Structure 1
């Protein structure tokens, strides 16, 4: 498949048997993210970085030892969060990670996870971007559901 045929925006959705606020807490607190990351790319995120508003920045350490600063560009408590990663002190790479939560009732929530790399221009990051498929996003959703449904 050529680069023009590879979708640059991929997403996956799942209904999770937990309330939106409970699920959002697992997403908005980066310390939880390595537990549900379906890309197996996150090694660690320090505690105390819970995202509370648009413009917040949190850092994560990757499994390869790299450190990412993540800039929150969309935020509605318990409903929507999105961030763009970069190397600390540099401009974001052009990728966007988004989570949208739609309460179905008090105990069930439809969660949609989207990866948008349509603005990515760094040729060194294209292979990794192409490898982030809907199946990887679904793996994150499945792991997130397992954690949220146990709470």
Structure 2
């Protein structure tokens, strides 16, 4: 296993297509987030393809601005099996710069009404100039991914019942 990744796995008693639909909805990400940093998604369009950009409003007490915005770029889109995105920030010219970390979800159907979900945070592509800023990787405790998966399970179950 890569020493610059951390993962957690949970079985969710919701069909794989429903779990994937929740992950592909940027508006759901604040409810899924296990750290409480994600506030809302200004971009509400569902994720549909590699290369798609979507923004998230964030808050972190240790961030120089407290409130800030990230730009994400869909890196993997294999419905309903895998979805991943790179996270970065918009530069002065409006163009995004990505820091080299990836959020990924791999989904494996376990029959018609259950899904094994593995959530991975990978910082192996973070360049030296970013690491030299003193950012600790991963920037959260090990429970974050497990919390995110539990939140995803609850949200997917609620939306499945409403579908």
Query: TM-score scaled by structure 2?
Result: 0.82
* Residues 82-138 of structure 1, C-alpha deviations (whole Å, 9 max, x = no match): 1101112232101000011100011000000000011213133622x3333432100
Gaps of at least 5 residues in structure 2 are 60-65
Aligned residues: 145
Partner of 1:136: 144
Pair 1:87–1:100, CA change in 2 (3 A):
same
Secondary structure, counterpart of 2:97 in structure 1: coil
Partner of 1:11: 7
CA RMSD of aligned residues (A): 1.7
State the distance in 2 between where 1:125 and 1:146 align: 35
Partner of 1:41: 37
Secondary structure, counterpart of 1:66 in structure 2: strand
Pair 1:25–1:16, CA change in 2 (3 A):
same
Pair 1:115–1:10, CA change in 2 (3 A):
same
Query: TM-score scaled by structure 1?
Result: 0.88
Gaps of at least 5 residues in structure 1 are 1-6
Q: Is the 8 A contact 1:9 1:118 kept in 2?
A: yes
Q: Is the 8 A contact 2:43 2:54 kept in 1?
A: no
Query: Is the radius of gyration larger for structure 1 or structure 2?
Result: 2
- Which structure 2 residues correspond to residues 40-119 of structure 1 after superposition, within 5 A? 40-46=36-42, 48-63=44-59, 64-88=66-90, 89-119=95-125
Q: Is the 8 A contact 1:9 1:116 kept in 2?
A: yes
